[in-house]
């Protein structure tokens, strides 16, 4: 049965990382194997900056950024191929020329369209180099253009998958079983042949799309960390790895803001009971984390998610009337229009409290509109603590010395909103 591997930007960021991918793939003889790859390192950010420079008419800045991209990719090619680099360098050069031409052709079009025609080159570049490297070390690979495989609508920058058309094309590709198929994450194409993207960090989702269409045995996401943790190890000094969690638990963690896996990834896998494994490419012996059907381990380890830069809005009616369903509907409707997500929602008789991510450009117009009809109290720079499967003692310990400004709790998740100034630095989960 088919295996799908996904390598993110960090795992292909330079020649050493790409060599490691080659060594890793050489150990896995299982076929068929589909390999989904992101753009190298921070290339997508660099392409976004390049596009912004172009759209703001900063021609010199654009040229310089294009040159930096060329230099970085060519340096990797030279480091990998040495004096045999010629043909691959030529392919990289011609992709960059195509990028430049496309950008110029579409510069007057609306930004999302222009974005997708330009930013898709990050993944085209990385897969071109990696596929050539795998051929160089004697592995039979087939480079696939994901824009011909993942068929989407024309909702640029957040394209929706046409599952049936995609399944037909993906199955036709995979009928050739002996070779490793290498393709791009993050990108797709319309039936008319324009390039689309699936949303930032969308390569995990790409792997899930292909796995779903092929009824794959498993998806493996290779990372520079051994797996999924119960808290961000950079913030929490005793974070532990979760070796086994269910799709539901993973979705909850992602929903509350954990950078576990792109949230769209889990649906297509859950529908077909395809497990998703997160493993370290740096330590192949380290036990991985697996997301699957089994819910038995979900409640064993409490997880902690800190969401920073929150704004609390306490919204009250002005005339001592209830905050009833009609008013909640009105307020939440304005939130949807503003494109804002509330990490915490709590209602009282005459009050609705919302904790919102502090996007100033979206928040300010929303607050202005709410102030026209309601009494609004606002508090900025807060940290929202989300704890899954906490008991009272753990919650009390985590809250000690911190002032809770809003809270909410259900059977499996507790949320508390604290002043950001009380939450900086390293956290510790008391046991
Ligand atoms: N390269 C894209 C991004 O950085 C997609 C991904 O890495 O998943 O957003
Ligand atoms: Mg990336």
pLDDT at 168 over 90: yes
More confident residue, 27 or 388: 388
Q: Could you tell me if 194 and 334 lie in one domain?
A: no
Beta bridge partners of 183: 36
pLDDT (mean) for 339-345: 95
Give the count of domains, the chain: 2
pLDDT at 30: 78
For 180, the domain range is 3-223
Task: Report the distance separating Cα 224 and Cα 233, nearest Å.
Answer: 13
Residue of 41, 115, 202 with the most ligand 1 atoms within 8 Å of its CB, for mutation: 202
- Specify the pTM: 0.92
Question: Which pLDDT band holds residue 176 (cuts at 50, 70, 90)?
Answer: confident
122 lines ligand 1 (CB under 6 A): yes
Q: Judging by DSSP bridges, how do beta strands 375-388 and 303-316 pair with one another?
A: antiparallel
Please report the pLDDT score of residue 31 as a whole number. 79
Last residue of a domain, one of 172, 203, 223: 223
Q: Is residue 211 part of a domain?
A: yes
Q: Which of 206, 223, 240 is the last residue of a domain?
A: 223
> Which of 12, 39, 42, 130 is the best mutation target for the ligand 1 pocket, counting ligand atoms within 8 Å of the beta carbon and taking the most?
39
Q: Does any ligand 1 atom lie closer than 6 A to the CB of residue 201?
A: yes
Establish if 108 belongs to a structural domain. yes
Residue 224 has pLDDT above 90, yes or no: no
In a domain, 343, yes or no: yes
179 close to ligand 1 (CB < 6 Angstrom):
no
Count how many residues are written for the chain: 431
What does the pLDDT read at residue 294? 96
Query: Helix or strand or coil: residue 123?
Result: helix
Whether residue 165 sits in one domain with residue 37: yes
Quote the pLDDT of residue 179: 87
**How many other C-beta atoms can be found within 10 angstroms of the C-beta atom of residue 307?**
19
What percent of the chain is predicted at pLDDT more than 90? 92
CATH number (domain holding residue 399): 3.30.2130.10
Last residue of a domain, one of 223, 246, 270: 223
Q: Return the number of other C-beta atoms located less than 10 Å from residue 298's C-beta.
A: 19
Question: 93 and 201 share a domain?
Answer: yes
For residues 366 and 359, what is the distance between their CA atoms, to the nearest angstrom? 11
Of the listed ligands, the closest to the CA of 122 is 1
CA distance 329 to 107: 40
Contact 197, 117 (CB under 8 A): no
Q: What angle do CA 159, 165, 166 make, to 5 degrees?
A: 65
Residues 194 and 329 in one domain: no
Distance 427 CA to ligand 2 centre (A): 27
Contact (Cβ atoms closer than 8 angstroms) between residue 135 and residue 46? no
User: Is the CB of 44 within 6 Å of ligand 1?
Assistant: yes
CA atoms of 292 and 273, how far apart (whole Å) = 7
DSSP 208-249: HHHHHHHT-SEEEEEESSSSEESS-TTTBTT--EE-EEEHHH
Do both 205 and 318 map to the same domain? no
Does the C-beta of 202 come closer than 6 Å to ligand 1? yes
Same domain, 314 and 196: no
Task: Assess if residue 183 is contained within a domain.
Answer: yes
Residue 372: band (very low, low, confident or very high) from pLDDT cuts 50, 70, 90: very high
What tens digit of pLDDT does each residue of 203-212 get? 999 999 999 9
Buried b (16+ CB within 10 A) or exposed e, 12-38: bbebebbebbbebbeeeeeebbbbbbb
Residues 143 and 15 in one domain: yes
| 319 and 209 housed in the same domain | no
> Which residue carries 């409490």 as its tokens?
302
User: Which ligand sits closest to the CA of 206?
Assistant: 1
Ligand (nearest to CA of 207)? 1
104 lies in some domain: yes
Is the CB of 200 within 6 Å of ligand 1?
A: yes
Residue among 263, 267, 153, 260 nearest 211 (CA): 267
Q: What pLDDT, on the 0 to 100 scale, is given for residue 174?
A: 85
Ligand closest to Cα of 203 equals 1
- Which of 5, 12, 17, 38 has most ligand 1 atoms within 8 Å of CB, for mutation? 38
pLDDT tens-digit map of 45-78 = 999 999 999 999 999 999 999 999 999 999 999 9
Whether the pLDDT of residue 188 is over 90: the answer is yes
Ligand 1 centroid, distance to 162 Cα (angstroms) = 21
Task: Note the ligand closest to the C-alpha atom of 202.
Answer: 1
Are 291 and 276 in contact by the 8 Å Cβ rule? The answer is yes
Q: Output the CA 197–ligand 1 centroid distance in Å.
A: 10
For 73-127, how does the pLDDT look when each residue is reduced to its tens digit (9 = 90+)? Answer: 999 999 999 999 999 999 999 999 999 999 999 999 999 999 999 999 999 999 9
User: Mean of the pLDDT values across residues 344-350?
Assistant: 96
Structure tokens at 134: 């795998």
Contacts of 276 (CB under 8 A, 6+ apart): 208, 218, 219, 220, 221, 250, 261, 265, 266, 269, 290, 291, 292
Residue 343, ligand 1, Cβ within 6 A: no
Residue 343 pLDDT: 96
Does residue 231 lie within any of the structural domains? Answer: no
Q: Which atom of ligand 1 is nearest to the CA of 8?
A: 7
- 138, with CB counted inside 10 A (0-12, 13-18, 19+), is exposed
User: What gap in Å lies between CA 278 and CA 300, rounded to an integer?
Assistant: 19
State the closest ligand 1 atom to the C-alpha of 202, by its place in the atom list counted from 1: 8
Q: Are residues 97 and 215 in the same domain?
A: yes
Give the per-residue pLDDT at 351: 97
| pLDDT band, residue 385 (cuts 50/70/90) | very high
Instruction: Say if 266 falls within a structural domain.
Output: no
- Collapsed DSSP state (helix, strand, coil) of residue 186: coil
199 Cα nearest atom in ligand 1 = 9
Instruction: Give residues whose Cβ lies within 5 Å of ion ligand 2.
Output: 9, 38
- pLDDT on residue 29: 78
Residue 272 covered by a domain: no
- Which residues have C-beta within 8 Å of that of residue 205, sequence separation ≥ 6? 185, 198, 199, 262, 264, 265, 268
Q: What is the rounded end-to-end Cα distance, in angstroms, of the chain?
A: 42
Dist. CA 192–CA 240, nearest whole Å: 47
Tokens of 18: 């790409």
Q: CA 298, CA 246: separation in Å to the nearest integer?
A: 7
Let me know whether 217 and 326 are in one domain: no
- In angstroms, what is the span from residue 13 Cα to ligand 2's centroid? 10
Of the candidates 9, 413, 431, the residue with the CA atom closest to the CA atom of residue 236: 431
Mean pLDDT over each residue of the chain, to the nearest integer: 96
Nearest-CA residue for ligand 1 atom 5 is 201
Average pLDDT on 235-253 reads 96
Residues 178 and 63 both lie in one domain: yes
Which pLDDT band holds residue 6 (cuts at 50, 70, 90)? very high
CATH of the domain at 32: 3.40.1160.10
Looking at the fold, whether 216 and 317 belong to one and the same domain comes out as no
Q: What is the pLDDT of residues 255-304, one digit of tens each?
A: 999 987 888 999 999 999 999 999 998 888 999 999 999 999 999 999 99
């Amino acid at each position: 049965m088919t295996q799908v591997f996904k390598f993110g930007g960090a795992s292909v960021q330079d020649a050493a990382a790409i060599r490691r991918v080659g060594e890793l793939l050489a150990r896995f003889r299982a076929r068929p194997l589909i390999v989904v790859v992101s753009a190298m390192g921070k290339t997508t950010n660099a392409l976004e900056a390049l596009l912004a420079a172009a759209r703001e008419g900063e021609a010199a800045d654009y040229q310089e950024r294009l040159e930096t991209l060329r230099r970085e990719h060519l340096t990797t090619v030279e480091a990998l191929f040495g004096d045999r680099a010629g043909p691959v360098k030529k392919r990289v050069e011609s992709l960059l020329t195509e990028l430049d031409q496309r950008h110029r052709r579409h510069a007057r079009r609306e930004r999302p369209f222009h974005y997708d025609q330009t930013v898709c080159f990050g993944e085209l570049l990385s897969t071109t180099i990696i596929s050539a490297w795998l051929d160089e070390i004697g592995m039979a690979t087939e480079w696939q253009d994901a824009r011909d495989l993942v068929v989407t609508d024309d909702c640029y920058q957040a394209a929706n998958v046409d599952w049936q058309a995609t399944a037909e094309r993906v199955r036709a590709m995979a009928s050739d079983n002996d070779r490793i198929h290498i393709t791009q994450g993050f990108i797709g194409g319309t039936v008319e042949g324009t390039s689309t993207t699936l949303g930032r960090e969308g390569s995990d989702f790409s792997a899930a799309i292909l796995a779903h269409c092929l009824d794959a045995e498993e998806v493996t996401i290779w990372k520079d960390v051994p797996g999924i943790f119960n808290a961000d190890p950079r913030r929490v000094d005793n974070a532990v790895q979760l070796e086994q969690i269910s799709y539901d638990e993973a979705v909850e963690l992602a929903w509350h803001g954990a950078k576990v896996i792109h949230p769209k990834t889990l649906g297509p896998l859950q529908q077909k009971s395809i497990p998703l494994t997160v493993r370290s490419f740096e330590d192949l012996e380290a036990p991985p984390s697996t997301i699957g059907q089994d819910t038995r381990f979900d409640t064993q380890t409490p997880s902690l998610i800190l969401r920073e830069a929150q704004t609390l809005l306490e919204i009250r009616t002005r005339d001592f009337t209830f905050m009833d369903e009609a008013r909640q509907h009105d307020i939440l409707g304005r939130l949807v229009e503003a494109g804002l997500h509330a990490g915490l929602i709590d209602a009282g008789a005459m009050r609705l409290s919302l904790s919102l991510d502090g996007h100033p450009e979206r928040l300010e117009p929303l607050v202005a509109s709410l102030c026209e009809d309601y009494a609004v109290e606002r508090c900025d720079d807060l940290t929202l603590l989300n704890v899954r499967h906490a008991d009272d003692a753990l919650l009390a310990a985590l809250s000690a010395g911190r002032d809770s400004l809003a809270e909410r709790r259900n059977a499996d998740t507790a949320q508390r909103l604290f002043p950001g100034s009380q939450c900086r630095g390293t956290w510790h989960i008391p046991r």
